[in-house]
Each structure stands twice: as structure tokens, then as C-alpha cells.
Amino acid sequence: MTRILGLFLYGSSLIALLVTGGYIALMIQAFPVEHLVSYGPRIPAVAALNARWLPHAPVMLFGAAAVSVLGAAGIWRSRNQISNRPFALAALAAVNYFLSLFCAMSLLIAWFLLPRLANMG
């Protein structure tokens, strides 16, 4: 049962990475970096910093998914007996979920929320 749960968590975390990468690519295509000045003259430093790396986030997320698959294959097929492989897969899933949530929240906060708040007053 724990093996199935570990595989489910890991598989769903890979799906989360890929979906988040596609979502960020679509959002940046719809709202490019020039969108930040549409709220007003003030651009927060966090938004300017995230404007440098967020356009590359889909590539980073797809790369993280590829590295995660290689790591999971290494864990699953290792010659040394790993006592708790489902826990190792769940730990990889936690890292994948964290990366996915971090990139999605960075897009939401730095692309939309902070520029609007900075130019309200």
C-alpha cells in the first residue's frame, strides 16, 4: 500500500511540475514583462527581480522534472537495498511540489499583486 501511495504522490508531483510550467509559459505570453509598467510608474524590486527569472521558469520546471525522474530511477533501481523507497519518492515529490508552488506564487505575487499595490497610493 505504501508503494502505491509513494508512486501516486510522485506521479502527481511530476504532473504538477509540468502543468505549472505550461501555465507560467501561457501567462507570461499573455502578460509579458512590459505588463509590469501598465499598473503605474512604480515597479517593486521583487517584481523587477522576478521579471528576470520568471520567463525561464518553464524551462527550469521541465528540467527539474527530468532530474527528478532520473533521481527516482536511480533510487528505484539502486543495487543497495534502500529500506524505504516509497519515503524517498515522497521526499522527491515534496521537492517537486515546493518548486511548483514557489514558481506559481512568485508569478501571482510579483506579476500581479505587488505592482498593483505599489501604485495604489
pLDDT digit of tens for each residue in the chain (121 aa)? Answer: 777 888 899 999 999 999 999 999 999 999 998 888 888 899 999 999 999 999 999 999 999 999 999 999 988 887 776 667 888 888 999 999 999 999 999 999 999 999 999 998 5
Range of the domain at 9: 2-15+44-118
Domain membership of residue 26 (yes or no) is no
Instruction: Give me the pLDDT at residue 121, please.
Output: 55
Instruction: Give me the pLDDT at residue 81, please.
Output: 66
Global confidence as pTM: 0.89
Domain membership of residue 38 (yes or no) is no
Close Cβ partners of 43 (under 8 Å, ≥ 6 residues apart): 36, 37, 115, 118
Count how many domains the chain has.
Answer: 1
Domain membership of residue 56 (yes or no) is yes
Domain membership of residue 109 (yes or no) is yes
Domain membership of residue 86 (yes or no) is yes
Instruction: Give me the pLDDT at residue 75, please.
Output: 83
Q: 121: helix, coil or strand?
A: coil
Are 54 and 32 in contact, with CB atoms under 8 Å apart?
no
Domain membership of residue 88 (yes or no) is yes
Domain membership of residue 83 (yes or no) is yes
Domain membership of residue 28 (yes or no) is no
* Number of Cβ within a 10 Å radius of residue 76: 13
